[in-house]
Structure 1
Amino acid sequence: MKTFILFALVVCVYQPVSAGYGFAGKSLIFSTKTDNSYVRLYPSRWPSLSAFTLCLRAASEESRGYGLFSYATPRTYNELLIWSSNEELCLYLGGTIVKFSLPKMNALLRHICVTWESEEGLVTFWVNGERTVQKAGKKGGTVLGGGSIILGQEQDSVGGAFDIRQSFVGEITDVNMWNHVLPACKIKAVSQGYYSAEGNIIDWAKIHFTVKGKVKIKNSNDCSSQNIFPQPVG
């Protein structure tokens, strides 16, 4: 009897994990609050960074706070975190938090980029190609390499310690990251699909990943400039 009970418990708590390569033309759908559903990304390299551009598209109708992108290292669990809360987008860089007052997330997919560079510590958000004010962030710092990237949850330890109250519910797609600050015109072009968004740290079309729990991978059904204006052949 004890053996049977133990087996039944294991079956109940087990969450299947699947692995794959590349999300070209795909979106991640997080349909409900959980503390065990997420996608983990595995870049081929993530050195320590003195600058970056991080872009994604997302939509959520949740009115509470949640993480859009969570990167944790043994040094700090909020090594790099994009946090959405009511009418704010925040960038966490370790113990530094830079807040921006922006329209509340809703059911419409919006393109979000954030840039940071260490020399002056400037942080800037871009929403649908429009720039916010520039704010002072982590001057002279670095983003430590070799950590854990999670979509759908906010890490309170490396790769885990998730809180259902901070889980993401909605859609995320087109996550790309570069190890430098993209020029303004390229960020605008990326937001409109006119510039090939192939990050040299995270490339959404080629990234290795694992999926756990109740996450659906669906066609994004987006119309890009490449579909409207196909490249000539020959």
Structure 2
Amino acid sequence: MMANSLVYGLVLVCMITGTTGSFMVTDNPYEQYTTHRWPDWTTPRGGYWTSSPSPGQDLTGRMFSVMSGSVVTFRGPLRYGNINAFTVCLRIIAEATPGAAIFTLTTSNSATLTLRSMPSGYELTVGQASKNLQPVSAIPSFGKLWPWTSLCVTWDSNTGMTQMWKDGKMSVRKGMWRGQNFYGPATMTLSGFEGQVTDIHMWDKVLPLSGLRSYNQGWGYPFGNMLSWRDMGYTSQGYAILENAFESQGGPAEKDSTGKQQRRHWRRHGELGNVVQGGADSVGGCFGLRKRCGKSQVLLE
């Protein structure tokens, strides 16, 4: 009886201690993919918290509509060790608000990376260093995945070189925070803009031009190993809605060897094809030369 009382007392103390913090203490590593803020779950104050099932969720063909004042946090798999380079890519539809943070990344050693929209281009902050980046040099083969704006940022600790890509344009390379490292799993927070976001990926390396081109075109790119839209843990607070993503149209049309304009292709995230029939969520997970998925038929080329 005394032993049972002692165990009960210890559990009660742990629960009281846990409610004063931000995260629930658990021995289950999968719990760390989602945030459990006990005060907000037990006594909500000005907003609702929702979270993804552990350990992550396939968000292919989905997008978050983020309203003003809301916060969405994304978490990838648990991993530890130095991060000497990275590539971060995402697609957004947002109104231009100078100074607004598009996203903020944090890691275990409290190092941060923030991308802000500026009147002329963007501002990237890595650690304690900031650089203005303006994608101006067009690469014709990249094109644009309408209606989305595809953004990618790369950084290499060994050289300090950072670069930004926006649709079919790239910025010049600039040096910043050379020799520094990130450490541990990555967490991305969206809280500074109003609009839609999808296809968030992060890699622990600088993607080659071919990988960046594939991401920009919306198919054939490797999924992120630090953050992946195919396996994402997330937490949202406030007015943020997870819904079906807009269908994407590749463009602009390019000329073939005969000089004629090629017809544009409709692309779904990670796939290339012509959507014959169906809605926004009708072709997710369809692969092969020809396959029916729900009420839609997709012909891959």
Would you call these one fold, judging by a TM-score over 0.5?
A: yes
Q: Distance in 2 between matches of 1:82 and 1:143?
A: 16
User: What pairs with 1:57-206 in structure 2 (closer than 5 Å)?
Assistant: 57-73=91-107, 76=110, 79-102=112-135, 109-146=148-185, 148-151=187-190, 153=191, 167-206=192-231
Displacement after TM superposition at 1:174 (Å): 0.8
Q: Which amino acid aligns with 1:25?
A: G
> Which stretch shifts more, 202-211 or 137-146?
137-146
Displacement after TM superposition at 1:145 (Å): 2.4
Q: Which amino acid aligns with 1:22?
A: D
Q: Deviations over 1:121-157 (max 9, x none)?
A: 1101011143221111221111232464212x2xxxx
Q: Distance in 2 between matches of 1:179 and 1:73?
A: 12
Runs of 5+ in structure 1 lacking a partner? 1-9, 154-166
Q: 1:22·1:208 contact (CA, 8 Å) conserved in 2? A: no
Q: 1:90·1:100 contact (CA, 8 Å) conserved in 2? A: yes
The number of residue pairs the alignment matches comes to 204
Structure 2 CA distance for partners of 1:69 and 1:26, relative to 1, 3 Å:
same
Q: Which has the higher contact order (CA 8 A, sep 6+)?
A: 1
Q: Which residue of 1 aligns with 2:277?
A: none
The alignment partner of 1:13 has SS state of coil
Displacement after TM superposition at 1:197 (Å): 4.4
Q: 1:26 aligns with which of 37, 62, 67?
A: 62
Matched, 1:13 2:6: no
Q: Distance in 2 between matches of 1:148 and 1:196?
A: 22
Displacement after TM superposition at 1:194 (Å): 2.7
| Identity score, percent | 23
Runs of 5+ in structure 2 lacking a partner? 1-41, 137-145, 249-266, 275-286, 292-301
Q: Distance in 1 between matches of 2:49 and 2:156?
A: 36
**Whose radius of gyration is greater, 1 or 2?**
2
Name the Cα RMSD after superposition: 2.6
Q: 2:108·2:183 contact (CA, 8 Å) conserved in 1? A: no
Q: Which amino acid aligns with 1:217?
A: L
The alignment partner of 1:185 has SS state of helix
Q: Which amino acid aligns with 2:104?
A: S
